[in-house]
Amino acid sequence: MKNIPMALTWMRVYFIPLFLLCYVLPIGWFGTNQSSFMIRDSIATALFVIASLTDYLDGYLARKWNQTTSFGAFLDPVADKLMVCAALLILLFLGRVSVLIVFVIIAREIIVSALREWMAQRNARDKVAVNSLGKWKTATQMMAIPMLLLDSFGYHWIHYVGQVLIICATILTIVSMWVYLKAAWPIMKTNN
């Protein structure tokens, strides 16, 4: 049987340039009036939502079918982080999210990824393995980003719910980073 979970991960990687293309193409490519913004944002949101769903599905299927691979374990979080970072940078460019939120979320991803790599070199990666707090952070981001992408539709409730969710995601980002750093601290302290 072909490795479907790996194919889903690669699909997520391929969606990143397609997602970015929605915002690189001149807006006239989507139409000539206000609806062109709605079309562009709808396409980008659909790509992001499909990518988010494949993130859940590829991990579930890989475990269920025992098709986990070391390369898949590497590529899956890279694809997730690239998609989220791309979406956050687009939202920043559109003025729909603050630079502080984007910085905190991207900085956390870099710090935690580096921490996991460093801990793996010390045979202690399990101390900073993904936990439920990190999963809640990801889920909250994955709900907030589509709502913020759809802000061009003018529905105030979508804007406000998206803003509340991205603030919650940012708080969870900080707390989860603190939990990972706290777990790694005893090893960090002895390896100065």
The C-alpha torsion from 36 through 39 and 45 to 46, rounded to 10°, is -160
Q: Quick one: pLDDT at residue 30?
A: 66
Same domain, 74 and 111: no
Same domain, 148 and 117: yes
pTM of the model: 0.89
Q: Quick one: pLDDT at residue 49?
A: 95
Give the domain-ending residue among 62, 94, 126: 94
Q: Quick one: pLDDT at residue 59?
A: 81
The tally of domains found in the chain comes to: 2
Same domain, 75 and 59: yes
How far out from the chain centre does Cα 141 lie?
7
Give the domain-ending residue among 70, 94, 118: 94
Contact 59, 5 (CB under 8 A): yes
Q: Quick one: pLDDT at residue 151?
A: 86
Q: Quick one: pLDDT at residue 117?
A: 86
Same domain, 33 and 77: yes
The tokens 């302290």 sit on which residue?
A: 189
Tokens of 12: 């997520």
CB environment 55-94: b (16+ within 10 A), e (fewer) = beebbebbeeeebbeeebeebbbebbbbbbbbbbebbbee
Give the domain-ending residue among 69, 94, 119: 94
Same domain, 118 and 141: yes
Name residues of the chain where pLDDT drops below 70: 1, 27-28, 30-32, 34, 191-192
Same domain, 62 and 132: no
Domain boundaries, position 145? 98-191
